[in-house]
Amino acid sequence: MAKLVIGLVQTRDEAEAAAERIIDCGYTRQDVSLLMTDATRHRCFRVPDGTPPAHTFGAAVAMSAVIPDLGFVVAGPLAAVVASAVGAGLTGGLREILISADVPKHWAERYERGVKQGGILVSVFAHNERDAGVLHLVLDDPGIYAVRAAATERDAYRIHL
């Protein structure tokens, strides 16, 4: 089963840099997901009316799914997790959705707070445990918090090479 690896960033440039680091690990831009509030989308990814976004990332965000009941937008493979959780009737917001994707509760709470405060979640589903460890390190920069889903408290930062 694929492991969800998440980073929290504050700007479009940081989101682009995180995506580039993920791509450098052998993933594609289509593997990268973004999740943010609609207000953050307008602040960070605003494009003049009728003008196509400058990069693929901007286009993905422009075409992202808006989840009005939960107050955020999501682009990329994480949208399927969100849609599944919403379809299953999860009503606890982003925290509950992330927990349903095996993100530890304390990290899910931190990510939910970060998104509500204007942050952008950058995530990818790692193909295996080794990739999850590497991607965790790749997203572990100052100001970016990353976690390997389904890791126990004891081995949350252990690298499996």
Residue 28 lies in a domain: yes
- pLDDT of 72 reads 84
Residue 142 lies in a domain: yes
Residue 86 lies in a domain: yes
Residue 161 lies in a domain: no
**Which structural domain, as residue segments, surrounds residue 79?**
3-148
Say yes or no to pLDDT of 152 above 50.
Answer: no
Position 48, amino acid: P
Number of domains in the chain: 1
- Average pLDDT taken over every residue of the chain: 77
73 - beta bridge partners? 36, 66
**Cα(21)–Cα(77) distance, integer angstroms:** 17
Say yes or no to pLDDT of 123 above 90.
Answer: yes
pLDDT in tens, 21-69: 999 899 999 999 999 998 888 888 776 655 545 555 555 555 556 665 6
Residue 158 lies in a domain: no
pLDDT in tens, 59-99: 555 555 666 567 788 888 998 888 888 778 776 788 988 99
pTM: 0.77
Token pair listed for 42 = 């307008």
Residue 114 near residue 8, CB atoms below 8 Å: yes
Taking CA atoms, 38 is separated from 20, 75, 83, 119, 142, in Å, by: 23, 12, 17, 11, 25
**Cα(90)–Cα(68) distance, integer angstroms:** 14
Say yes or no to pLDDT of 15 above 80.
Answer: yes
